[in-house]
Amino acid sequence: MVSNLRASIVMLLLLTVLTGGFYPGLTTLILQSSFPKAANGSQILNDEGEVIGSSLIGQNFTEPEYLWGRLSATSPEPYNAASSSGSNFGVNNTALVEAAKARIAVLKAADPDNIAPVPVDLVTSSASGLDPEISPAAALYQVHRIAKARGLDDNKVRSVIAAATRGRTFGLLGEPRVNVLEVNQALDTIGK
């Protein structure tokens, strides 16, 4: 019995060192040297080198001079990474329809001259509630409002969005997308 207990304790200590120390240390070393940006949370820095966000987690922009992202259903505040969740409303749920109508009203009030159809990703939340990206159509829908609020030409805002538009991953996975924080950061470098 003592030899079994001794063997168990030795294995516990050995596996603790291997799985709790060696393996995490090795993977951290490999990832930090191979993919430092991703290993550190895909942080986005401002001109002073301060972290202003992550390219993986959305932020709540509501001012007219900024590009707006998807709705976030996280609580207690939007884009709360500690509370990732979607609304779980089905397509026939009246709460989803009412929320979409309310968001359309906000978008129309912010840019009454815009008569284009509102892209669906501007009126619905995602499954995680943390989407940092929107479709190019959703970004282009907001061009006139942003340009007017910043006193810029619409084409200048379009060019910022075009520069931040990413295609499908490996040319075939997913859809083209625009990172909201990256566009807003670029817009701030041209001025408010």
**Residue 124 per-residue DSSP state:** S
- Under 8 Å between Cβ of 139 and 183: yes
Average pLDDT over residues 147-165: 94
Q: pLDDT per residue over 95-116, tens digit each?
A: 888 888 999 999 999 999 999 9
- Residue 66 in this model has a pLDDT that exceeds 80: yes
Query: Distance (Å, rounded) from C-alpha 64 to C-alpha 99?
Result: 20
Region class of 151: left (phi > 0), else alpha (psi between -120 and 50), else beta = left
| pTM, rounded to two decimals | 0.77
* Helix ranges (DSSP H) in 75-135: 94-110
Residue 74: per-residue pLDDT: 79
CA distance linking residue 104 with residue 117, whole number of Å: 10
Q: Which pLDDT value is given to residue 125? A: 82
Looking at residues 162-170, what average pLDDT do you find?
A: 93
User: What's the CA angle centered on 135, arms 147 and 121, to 5 degrees?
Assistant: 100
Count of beta carbons in the 10 Å neighbourhood of residue 102:
12
Distance CA 52, CA 45 (A): 6
